[in-house]
Structure 1
Amino acid sequence: MKDKYTLDKLPLEESAVISSIDCNDCLINRIYDMGILTDTVITPLYRSPFGDPTAFLVKNAVIALRNKDSKYITVTPIK
């Protein structure tokens, strides 16, 4: 079984598959609107100089997520 951890812990340029999203209704709708769904591949591309937010590649789009929001997303790294 592969390790699972939250999206905010995923190293830059390491792709992972989203396993689960566990947050309140307001945030989950926003996350779904950005194309972040379970079984979707996501890759962190850049972090701001202070470490928050992080830019992610999701379905050929670059989106930014704050660390406090990405802690609700569990991922499984692609090895």
Structure 2
Amino acid sequence: MLRPLSLLKPGQSAVIRWLSDDRSITARLLDLGFTPGTAVTCTLSRSHGAISAFLVRNAVIALRREDSRLILAEEPDMQEDLKEVDSLENC
């Protein structure tokens, strides 16, 4: 399920799937490493989520809520992860 990056809590990870169509902010986000298919982890959230920090491509980047709302991400499916672990154990 896709949801805005702004809803991630510290410690939660997701994979970026979509960026806003607003070219001015999208160019900046792409330059910072927020690209579709990239894994991201929320490391910090302050002022009730007004500012959050995300680990992306081995760098921690802080974004304002209004910017992190423009990024849609998908949390990993735990069931798929468990299936993968089971298949590795059976090798």
TM-score (norm 1): 0.89
SS of the equivalent of 1:32 reads helix
Question: Structure 1, unaligned stretches of length 5 or more?
Answer: none
Hey, which bits of structure 1, 4+ residues long, moved more than 2 A? none
Query: Highest CA radius of gyration, 1 or 2?
Result: 2
Q: Is the counterpart of residue 57 in structure 1 residue 55 in structure 2?
A: yes
* RMSD over equivalenced CA pairs, Å: 1.2
Q: 2:51 & 2:15 partners in 1: Cα distance?
A: 20
Counting matched residue pairs gives 77
Q: Which residue of 2 is the match for residue 40 of structure 1?
A: 38
Query: Could you say which structure has the higher helix fraction?
Result: 2
Partner of 1:14: 12
> Can you give the 5+ residue segments of structure 2 that lack an aligned partner in the other structure?
79-91
Counterpart-to-counterpart distance in 2, 1:21 and 1:76: 12
Higher relative contact order (CA 8 A, sep 6+): 1
- Pairwise CA distance, 1:51: 2.7
Structure 1 residue identity aligned to 2:25: L
Code of the residue aligned with 2:29 in structure 1: it is I
Indicate whether 1:5 and 2:28 are aligned.
no
The Cα of 1:61 is off from its aligned counterpart by 0.1
Q: CA deviation at 1:50?
A: 4.4
Instruction: Tell me which amino acid in the other structure corresponds to 1:52.
Output: A
Identity, % of aligned pairs? 34
Deviations 1:42-76, CA, capped at 9 Å, x for gaps:
01100124432101000110000010011111100
